[in-house]
Amino acid sequence: MAEQTQDQLPKTTADGIELASSKVEILAGSGTDPTAATFVLHEEDHTLANPLRHAIMQNPEVEFCGYSIPHPSEYKVQLRIQTTQETTALAALKKGLEDVYAMCDHTFKEYHRVMKAGEYEIVDEE
């Protein structure tokens, strides 16, 4: 594994979720084959990695996808993607991200539609 130097580490802003220049990188040793790569997502955990893994695995062109958090004291996720010759690991990652976003968006709209319809019991606690 490539040794991390100080300037490669993600720059943390106060809220910790702003864009860092090295938020995402490809792990050294991925080679030249575009259909297989391990991505490192800095400052992310199961919250993002697990739904992302799920969305990527739903892509029929993806042969393998899995993630790991190599050590609990390092705030990062390693995401491995292997695809068929029809696509690339990077394209699968991007499609996965788009799909998670779209799933959230749909859930949000559906939740608000039902909330607006108001077919539920309102309980007064006091």
- Which residues contact another protein (rule: CB under 8 A)? 14-21, 23-26, 41, 44, 46-48, 50-54, 57-60, 90, 93-94, 97-108, 110-115, 119-125
Nearer to another protein, 50 or 70 (CB): 50
What is the C-alpha separation between 8 and 84, in angstroms, rounded?
Answer: 31
Sign of torsion over alpha carbons 105, 106, 109, 110: negative
Nearer to another protein, 7 or 15 (CB): 15
Considering the complex, what minimum distance in angstroms separates the CB of residue 121 from another protein? 5
Considering the complex, what minimum distance in angstroms separates the CB of residue 70 from another protein? 18
Strand partners, 77: 41
Q: Comparing C-alpha atoms, which of 61, 66, 36 is closest to residue 50?
A: 66
Nearer to another protein, 3 or 15 (CB): 15
Q: In what order do the strands lie in the sheet with 36-42?
A: 24-26, 36-42, 76-83, 62-68
96's tokens:
């996965």
Nearer to another protein, 1 or 123 (CB): 123
Considering the complex, what minimum distance in angstroms separates the CB of residue 72 from another protein? 13
3-class DSSP assignment, residue 36: strand
Considering the complex, what minimum distance in angstroms separates the CB of residue 15 from another protein? 5
